[in-house]
Amino acid sequence: MKLTENQKQMLDGKEGRGARKAMEILAAYGECYEAERLITITSVHIAGNYPVLMEEGIEWLEDLASDGTRVRVFTTKNPEMYDFEQADELKVPAGLRSKQKRIHEALKSLGVALTYSCHHYLVGNVPRFGDHIAWASSGSQVFANSVIGARSNRDGDHVALAAAIVGAIPEWGLHLTQNRKGEILIDVGSLDFEDYDPCDYKALGWHLGKIAGTKIPVFVNLPNNLPIEAIKGLLYSLTVTGAMGLVHLVGTTPEASSVEQAFGQNPPSSPDIVVRQEDVDKSYTEISSCTEEKVDLVIFGCPQCSIQEVQEIAQLLGSNKLHAETQLWICTSRWVKTLCERMGLLEQLESSGARIVADVGAADGPHLYLKEQGIRVIAMNSARGCYYAHNLFGMDTCFGSTRACVQAAISGRWEGRH
Amino acid sequence: MRKIRAKSVTGGVAEGEAIVSRTAISFTGGMDPDTGIIREPGHELEGRSVAGKILVFPTGKGSTTGSWQFYAAYKRGHAPRGIINVKAEGVVAVSAIITETPMVHDLEEDPFEFIEDGDFVRINANEGYIEIRNKDGL
């Protein structure tokens, strides 16, 4: 791989130990994929929080930051375990607080923007069409490729951080135009989208991710002008059961105004996959793991709720009070919480008994301490959230629409998916 | 000993007993960093430890945070000693890079044709080949 003079200096350790470590990672990574050079990137997002980093990961980060290493590219960070301002109220154990504090200090020292959000594209980390970026976090990575038309591989956190420090990444995979062509054609024309809720798009994505695997799918016959919640629902589920980095939604993806454009040339004459409603229905039973009706916690925010989603939840809840034995959490970013306060939504939701929890996502961090507090059965409108809450933390999960989840918070029981 | 050429992902030499999976592996959620035991429900290696072994599998999958979990397993002494992949997915590749675990991929022949559980395997990632002696000493 060809390196610039500056990159060679970094590799020789002339810009410090952290920069050398970052260059060593990128050099080895680039050699592995036979990249010819490093290309400049404009945006980085990193994912891991304490449950995956563990003590050893924190030490790795602290070592990287120890000699004043700084990122050169705007870098945002995914959610953490708890809301600093509610730590006492939520009974977060002292041990977990000190771990998060160390991650926080290391990232601050590296110059990472401490957004603690998975909707970082709402706070200014917005790449443009054709930009080369390094976004760890498989859901937003596929969103960037498929909705914005920016270019990112499925980079792990170590590669994304190294790229942020060096300011460049090996040119391979989805950074190259020839690797962005569609590979399988999926026809969803037989589904009746008139009645579709965003949760149905999530169930659809769950089903198709298993079939598509790592291949780049091309969707045809989706409705025109799909709302962003439906698009996010589909993409964020596809990357739980599959491992593709790019999805062509014909009519929505900038590189897929037609099937021909999505495939580059010679699109298949007939679809590789035709979806039936029963496939989508079957996904619901796979995503939900719970066998009981009593719900301990309804938790929204995987990915974190936008202001529009909070408005919808508040409207569905109205003046109802939560069931005495059921909690309702809305996980979001600090800025959306601030907006809720300003708009009176926070007061309205709190008077119903609901909480808005900032800086966390609904899939992972909080479950470390919620489980210790006796929370066992949770209801979510996120297929992705259900997968991680169940497989990483052993929660029993009920999956359904926002309406069904709000209803469960009021009645204390799960009554079905819609 | 049978010798097969491969492409190096990292450098170094590792040898030991092979453990073979024909299905992809996710290090986040799929492998317990405290034991090296594969814990994904229904996975063909479920309940078996990859610690100290030469791990042979097609490719990675799942969360991009997998390199943190692999690193923790390595520091706790429960990571595989070497990795052989059909195709190195990015998360597995960087896991090997940060732990200096010898790793190769893209072999001249299909590794599932000639490596079985318990075979003795040596990875030479410096020169880009592997050597296999099967359980019968051949």
CB-based contact, B90 to chain A, within 8 Å:
yes
CA of residue A295 relative to chain centroid, distance: 25
CB-closest option in B28, B41, B93 to A52:
B28
Quote the CA–CA distance of B106 and B114 in Å, as a whole number.
Answer: 15
A167 and A47 belong to one structural domain: yes
Closest to A206 measured CA to CA, from A126, A286, A145, A289: A286
Residues 6+ apart with CB under 8 A from A338: none
- Sign for the pseudo-dihedral over CA of B14, B16, B21, B25: negative
Mutate to test the interface with A, among B40, B63, B71, B101 (most CBs of A within 10 A): B63
- DSSP letters, A316-339, are HHTTPPPPTT-EEEEEE-HHHHHH
Tokens of B86: 């059909």
Predicted local confidence at residue A273, as pLDDT:
96
Q: Are A133 and A150 in contact (CB under 8 A)?
A: yes
Residue A293 DSSP symbol: S
Q: Which residue of A has its CA nearest to B61?
A: A243
On whether residue A417 sits in a domain, the answer given is no
Q: Is residue A297 within a helix (H) or strand (E), and if so which, with residue range? A: strand A297-300
A39 and A170 belong to one structural domain: yes
A76 and A55 belong to one structural domain: yes
A150 and A185 belong to one structural domain: no
Tokens of B133: 């002696």
Number of A–B residue contacts, CB under 8 Å? 93
Q: Do A52 and B10 touch (CB under 8 A)?
A: no
A71 and A95 belong to one structural domain: yes
Going along chain B, which residue ranges are E strands? Answer: 2-5, 7-8, 13-20, 31-32, 37-38, 54-57, 82-85, 103-105, 120-124, 129-133
Q: Do A137 and B64 touch (CB under 8 A)?
A: yes
On whether residue A416 sits in a domain, the answer given is no
Burial group, residue A270, by CB count within 10 angstroms (0-12, 13-18, 19+) = exposed
ipTM of the complex: 0.92
A28 and A80 belong to one structural domain: yes
On whether residue A340 sits in a domain, the answer given is yes
Q: Which residue of B has its CA nearest to A135?
A: B64
CB-closest option in B61, B64, B93 to A29:
B93
Neighbours of B76 (CB within 10 A): 16
Residues of A in contact with B88 (CB under 8 A): 32
Identity of the amino acid at A151: R
Predicted local confidence at residue A178, as pLDDT:
96
- Sign for the pseudo-dihedral over CA of A349, A353, A357, A361: negative
Q: Do A47 and B65 touch (CB under 8 A)?
A: yes
On whether residue A258 sits in a domain, the answer given is yes
CB-based contact, B38 to chain A, within 8 Å:
no
Task: Please pick, among B49, B63, B67, B95, the residue that the annotation labels catalytic.
Answer: B63
pLDDT in tens, chain B (138 residues): 899 999 999 999 999 999 999 998 989 888 999 999 998 878 999 999 999 999 999 998 878 889 999 999 999 999 999 999 999 988 999 999 999 999 999 999 999 999 999 999 999 999 999 999 987 776
A335 and A242 belong to one structural domain: no
CB-closest option in B65, B76, B94 to A29:
B94
Residue A40 has phi, psi (to 5 degrees) of -65, 135
In chain A, the number of structural domains is 3
- State how far residue B137 is from chain A, nearest Cα, in angstroms: 32
Range of the domain at A159: 5-178
CB-based contact, B93 to chain A, within 8 Å:
yes
CB-based contact, B76 to chain A, within 8 Å:
yes
Predicted local confidence at residue B89, as pLDDT:
87
Q: Do B89 and A155 touch (CB under 8 A)?
A: no
On whether residue A198 sits in a domain, the answer given is yes
pLDDT digits (tens, 9 = 90+) for A52-79: 999 999 999 999 999 899 999 999 999 9
Residues of B in contact with A54 (CB under 8 A): 33, 68-69, 72
On whether residue A193 sits in a domain, the answer given is yes
Tokens of A46: 């990193």
Q: Which residue of B has its CA nearest to A30?
A: B9
Q: Do B88 and A159 touch (CB under 8 A)?
A: no
Predicted local confidence at residue A364, as pLDDT:
77
Q: Which of A285, A314, A329 is the last residue of a domain?
A: A285
Could you tell me the CATH number of the domain that includes residue A348? Answer: 3.30.499.10
Q: Are A380 and A405 in contact (CB under 8 A)?
A: yes
Residue B132 has phi, psi (to 5 degrees) of -130, 135
Q: What parts of chain A have a pLDDT lower than 50?
A: none
- Sign for the pseudo-dihedral over CA of A178, A179, A185, A189: negative
A58 and A170 belong to one structural domain: yes
Tell me, yes or no, if B63 is annotated catalytic.
yes
Tokens of A244: 């593709």
Q: Do B67 and A388 touch (CB under 8 A)?
A: no
Residues of B in contact with A156 (CB under 8 A): 64-67, 90-91, 94-95
Q: Is residue B70 within a helix (H) or strand (E), and if so which, with residue range? A: helix B66-75
- State how far residue A351 is from chain B, nearest Cα, in angstroms: 37
A56 and A147 belong to one structural domain: yes
On whether residue A418 sits in a domain, the answer given is no
A56 and A121 belong to one structural domain: yes
A187 and A173 belong to one structural domain: no
Closest to A242 measured CA to CA, from A52, A59, A383, A409: A383
Q: Do A25 and B97 touch (CB under 8 A)?
A: yes
| CA dist list (Å): A198 to A229, A383, B54 | 6, 11, 44
Q: What count of residues does chain A have?
A: 418
Residue A55 has phi, psi (to 5 degrees) of -55, -40
Q: Which of A136, A155, A178 is the last residue of a domain?
A: A178
Residues of A in contact with B106 (CB under 8 A): none
| CA dist list (Å): A298 to A328, A359, A362 | 5, 18, 10
On whether residue A209 sits in a domain, the answer given is yes
Predicted local confidence at residue A138, as pLDDT:
84
Q: Do A141 and B64 touch (CB under 8 A)?
A: yes
Q: Do B64 and A155 touch (CB under 8 A)?
A: yes
Residues of A in contact with B60 (CB under 8 A): 243
Identity of the amino acid at B53: K
CB-closest option in A53, A156, A392 to B29:
A392
Q: Do A56 and B9 touch (CB under 8 A)?
A: no
Q: Which fold has domain B2-123?
A: Glucose Oxidase; domain 1 (3.50.30)
Residues of B in contact with A33 (CB under 8 A): 93
A51 and A169 belong to one structural domain: yes
Residues of A in contact with B93 (CB under 8 A): 28-29, 32-33
